[in-house]
Amino acid sequence: MSVFSQEFKVQSVEKALSRRPEQSLKQIAVTLGVGYSTLQKWIRLAKKNQLEKTESNMSKEKSPQDWNTVERFEAIVHCHHLTDDQASAYCREQGIYLHHLNTWKAEFLSESKSTESVYKQAQTKLKQENKRLHKELNRKEKALSETAALLVLSKSAKRSGGKGGRLIAYSDRQHYSALIDEAVDNGARQKLACELVGISARTYQRWNRGRRTLRRPTTAQYSACAQSIIRGHQARNHHRD
């Protein structure tokens, strides 16, 4: 025999008395999962103000609104694998309706989606901020490298006798070009490096028109050049033989 809580009885009577005109009392009883005669008995007791007093010796029942988040979650988990009839029986024992359980489940899902959305927005914002910081850091590093390169160029140009002019010897042109190349390799802009030496970028380009490079060859370049010379000698010797 099913045992119904006092809260369930009161709510059942309220639902029966507030039913729509097209609904019969038997339909309400079937929906609630109680007998038709049982529901009639509860209604008679309620009209005599005796329904709420029949279990006055019992502790006060909790209303659905009194259930905290943990209790609601445990109820949802408990009923997850139950059939509708089993879940309804559980709800009756706990003094709640099945629709309360469904409402709580929908609220949990809604909160979960909202939390996930907030997390994604925060993650996107962090990525954008990280990208901005990397960009700013790269800009500052380039500016620092350029400043250092120009400082070195300035000292080297002074040791070489100051700024150049129009009448500059070819050897000096090569020397200044090498200093400018080194500054550019270390992060300086060509225009600023030329201005620091005392020539225009156009003058620098005119000096170096047609040349491949005035920079010091690397070890690999030395090796390649040596191998090319050796192969040339070998080819000539072979031709003589």
**The total number of structural domains that make up the chain:** 1
pLDDT tens column, 94-114: 888 888 888 888 888 888 777
Q: How far is CA 149 from CA 10, 152, 187, in A?
A: 87, 5, 7
pLDDT confidence bin for 167, thresholds 50/70/90: low
pLDDT confidence bin for 54, thresholds 50/70/90: very low
In a domain, 54, yes or no: yes
Q: What is the pTM of this model?
A: 0.34
pLDDT given at position 17: 84
Average pLDDT over residues 175-200: 85
In a domain, 225, yes or no: no
pLDDT given at position 100: 86
Q: Is the Cα torsion angle 2, 8, 46, 24 positive or negative in sign?
A: negative
Is 60 exceeded by the pLDDT of residue 217?
A: no
pLDDT given at position 90: 84
In a domain, 20, yes or no: yes
pLDDT averaged over the chain? 77
In a domain, 55, yes or no: yes
d(CA 175, CA 191): 17
Residue-range definition of the domain harbouring residue 90: 6-96
In a domain, 204, yes or no: no
In a domain, 60, yes or no: yes
